[in-house]
Amino acid sequence: MTQPHRSAVINLYKTLLYLGRDWPQGYDLFRKRLHKVFMKNSEETNPEKIKIMIKHGEFVVKEIEALYKLKKYRAMKRRYYDDN
């Protein structure tokens, strides 16, 4: 893995770990699964495939952020609006 890819992968890993703190099933489960996925792909040397995997990881970050925002929106809506 070249140096630019290495730093991008490490930043992606740190970002996902940070987002995993609020994971509904718990941080430990999230961290274990994340580590497993990154270790599975750690031997990849093809730069194009690494770029594709980084793009997929960035997509996952956006999806997780969207889920968290939706969760917060629903909680706020329940507080301020009564269903009756």
Distance CA 60, CA 17 (A): 12
Q: What is the pLDDT of residue 4?
A: 77
Task: Judge whether residue 83 has pLDDT over 80.
Answer: no
Q: What is the pLDDT of residue 12?
A: 96
Distance CA 62, CA 65 (A): 5
* Distance, first Cα to last Cα, the chain: 58
- Split at pLDDT 50, 70, 90, the class of 79 is confident
The model carries a pTM of 0.81
Mean pLDDT score of the chain, rounded to an integer? 90
